[in-house]
Amino acid sequence: MLSPARRHRMRVQAETESQRDANPMRHATGYEQMLVKLNEDKRRLKKVYGKEKKADIKRQMLPEYVPWVKGVMNSGRGAQDAIVMTVMIWRLDTGDVTGALEIARYALKHGLVSPDGFRRDSLPYLLAEEVASAAMRAWTAKEAVNIDPLLETLRLTDGEDMPDEVRAKLHKIIGYVYRDSGGTHEAMKHLQRALQLHDRCGVVKDIERLATVMKKQAQNSR
């Protein structure tokens, strides 16, 4: 036979469970509640096919995550956080490289890894590839590309393990941006490094043309 104390504990547990079933998020932590929101937003995004449309929706969603990300980064505890890491990726997807790097510095400092669902679990690998790709898309669309985030990405990922092709992609776009702004010597250095890392990265003709320009510049400066 159950004691009165045991019966009381069982009744309290039953009442607690019934309340939880009626309002499952009532006792959830702040992180759990944010994960529920994130998963709902991801389900919404899965229904959209176009990348530009997805990026537009992410831009609308991102402000809702700003307070959480700021709170996590200000606390400085460095625990793995799927919300923060997903926001970093979404910022890259929407062209906010500077905002993504702000999170990346924190993530790399504390050894955070890429969120679930990304084939590249190495954060430096993911960061270098995504930043380079975002910059290349903007450059191809003839948009202005700020070189500072590219150089910051190169610095943050220096010495980290990743495929040579990915690092070559980063050097390639840096070379293009330097070249377009008249920095021929810096451009040559990065394009040559890209070629050294990946001989099929598509910069051979660029290097040849740049060498011709530099030769003319040297002759005119005499």
Domain boundary among 71, 88, 118: 118
Q: From CA 159, how far away is CA 156, in angstroms rounded?
A: 9
Instruction: Show Cβ contacts of residue 71 under 8 Å, excluding neighbours closer than 6 positions.
Output: none
Same domain, 32 and 114: yes
Residue 13 lies in a domain: no
Same domain, 176 and 135: yes
Domain that holds residue 191: 122-222
Question: Tokens for 19?
Answer: 């309340």
Same domain, 127 and 114: no
CA angle 107, 169, 54 (to 5 degrees): 65
Same domain, 109 and 191: no
Residue 45 lies in a domain: yes
Residue 95 lies in a domain: yes
Maximum average pLDDT range among 19-23, 80-84, 122-126, 198-202:
198-202
Specify the pTM. 0.78
Instruction: Report which of 112, 132, 138 is spatially closest to residue 55, judged by C-alpha positions.
Output: 138
Domain boundary among 102, 118, 134: 118
Residue 133 lies in a domain: yes
Q: From CA 88, how far away is CA 61, in angstroms rounded?
A: 13
Structure confidence by residue, pLDDT tens digits, 135-184:
998 899 999 999 999 999 999 999 889 999 999 999 999 999 999 999 99
Q: From CA 90, how far away is CA 169, in angstroms rounded?
A: 20
Residue 41 lies in a domain: yes
Residue 187 lies in a domain: yes
Number of domains in the chain: 2
Is 88:103 a contact under the CB 8 Å cutoff?
Answer: yes
Instruction: Show Cβ contacts of residue 4 under 8 Å, excluding neighbours closer than 6 positions.
Output: none
Instruction: Report which of 206, 193, 128, 125 is spatially closest to residue 162, judged by C-alpha positions.
Output: 125
Structure confidence by residue, pLDDT tens digits, 171-189:
999 999 999 999 999 999 9
Residue 94 lies in a domain: yes
Domain boundary among 97, 118, 139: 118
Same domain, 97 and 146: no
Same domain, 141 and 222: yes
Report the CATH number that the domain containing residue 154 is assigned in CATH: 1.25.40
The dihedral sign for the CA sequence 204, 207, 211, 213? positive
Same domain, 87 and 155: no
Structure confidence by residue, pLDDT tens digits, 24-65:
445 558 888 899 999 999 999 999 999 999 999 999 999 999
